[in-house]
Amino acid sequence: MSSFLSSLAEKYHFDTEDQAITLAFNYFNRSSKPFDDFIENLLQLSESDDNTNVINFLIQSFIQWKNQSNKPLLIPKFDEKKINNFILQTLPIESLNNFIEIFQISKEYLIHFLKSSLIFLTNSNISKRLLNLIVKLDYQLEFQPNEILLPLILNSKDYLIDIYLNKNSQYEEYLIHLLNHLYEKNGKKLREILAEEYNIKNATFNKKTLSKLVVRYWNLYGNDQNDKYPNLAILQNKRTLDYLINVKYNGNNDEKTMSEECWDESVAVNKKINMSLVFC
């Protein structure tokens, strides 16, 4: 690590923030190529996992210095591969917008970069971070369903879907509409819809696990809106009925048996099961 970074880290951790900012400002004022020095220092810091806070501080300091500087500053051309790798692997999410502002990275560039990175979506070490970048930028709807959301659904990646949703009612409704469409005719057109509408051919998924995931999100965000999401209402009722029949008539496991009173009560609750189930 350079002497500047060592001094900056020491002042950041042990002295006042004002002293650390003054050190950073003096460094960039003396630099003949402040942007080049800035990115070089960031890349040095990124070599260690312990430097996240210092990276955040350096980015914050640079943008403050840049905004206050009287120097005519031109953003030089950088190695895009290094910049992209830094964003994808190391850049603290909370500093993403500041980093984009510093280098004036366009939305078009970011979308192209993120789309090209989707090949890593099945890599658990990168997929969560990639989604967090997309969510931070609020770019979820810049991607087609077959690019992010459908692969996560078909692979039952609940925790990644939750990151995608980001507790946002717009995206929650988007998800439920999509699931309701997939389960037309009780899911019998699922493969056809995936192939013809989303170009996902020969999709592999576990039907039981998938239906469990779908019902989970229906229960979370459907709010029993049977008229709005009829296909999901049917799926939920069918799963409930299958469960009741299995518990009632599976005599091989005493834990799964059900008293007549409990059976009658449970069936009564599900009397309003959609009649289309009769034709399943």
Domain count, the chain: 2
pTM score of the predicted model: 0.81
Same domain, 146 and 85: no
Tens of pLDDT, residue by residue over 271-280, are 554 444 334 4
Domain boundaries, position 266 = 139-280
Give a yes or no: residue 63 inside a domain: yes
Write b or e for each residue in 168-187: b if 16 or more Cβ atoms lie within 10 A of its Cβ, otherwise e.
eeebbebbbebbbbbbeebb
Amino acid at 216: R
Give a yes or no: residue 114 inside a domain: no
| Residues 68-71: contacts with CB under 8 Å, at least 24 apart | 69/28, 69/29, 71/34
- Of all residues in the chain, the percent with pLDDT exceeding 70 is 82
Same domain, 153 and 253: yes
Q: Cα separation of 243 and 237, whole Å?
A: 10
Q: Cα separation of 197 and 237, whole Å?
A: 27
Of the candidates 79, 87, 81, 100, the one whose C-alpha atom is nearest the C-alpha of residue 129 is 87
Same domain, 89 and 165: no
pLDDT at residue 159 is higher than 80: yes
Q: Cα separation of 124 and 160, whole Å?
A: 10
Q: Please give the sequence-ordered ranges of beta strands (E in DSSP) within the chain, or none if there are none.
A: none
Mean pLDDT of all residues in 221-233: 86
Same domain, 73 and 173: no
Tens of pLDDT, residue by residue over 161-184, are 999 999 999 999 999 999 999 999
Q: Which of 35-39, 125-129, 136-140, 152-156 has the lowest mean pLDDT?
A: 125-129
Over the Cα atoms of the chain, what is R_g? Answer: 27
Same domain, 162 and 88: no
Give a yes or no: residue 258 inside a domain: yes
Give a yes or no: residue 126 inside a domain: no
